[in-house]
Amino acid sequence: MKHDDMKMHDMHDMDHDHGDMMMHGGHMMHMGNLKQKFWVSLVATIPIIILSPFMGIKLPFQTTFPGSDWLVLLLATFLFFYGGAPFLKRCKERIGREEPSDDDVDCMGITVSY
């Protein structure tokens, strides 16, 4: 493989550590540190799971206290805007250019879930 071919091949991969993604036309889109967003979002998800009622199912590790519903709302709002920011940003850019894609489904999914 030639040096130029290897360089071009590397450009088409996504760098998960830095959150750079190759877009059409050879432009890089910076989405922030996706690995860091994942771990912070995971930590915020744990108390949401512990404090949320699951359709009437009583889980052995579930707990509630006065105001726990408000805490779940605050954590879910943080999770939606912090963890969902890359999806929301890409969706907004594509809708502005009228170029629907699979990212729109992700954006709708997290919005409906919230």
- What is the full DSSP assignment across 44-59? HHHHHHHHS-BTTB--
Beta pairing, strands 28-30 & 20-22: antiparallel
Tokens matching residue 57:
């199912």
Q: Indicate if the pLDDT at residue 12 is higher than 50.
A: no
With cut-offs at 50, 70 and 90, classify the pLDDT of residue 26: very low
The whole-number pLDDT of residue 79 equals 93
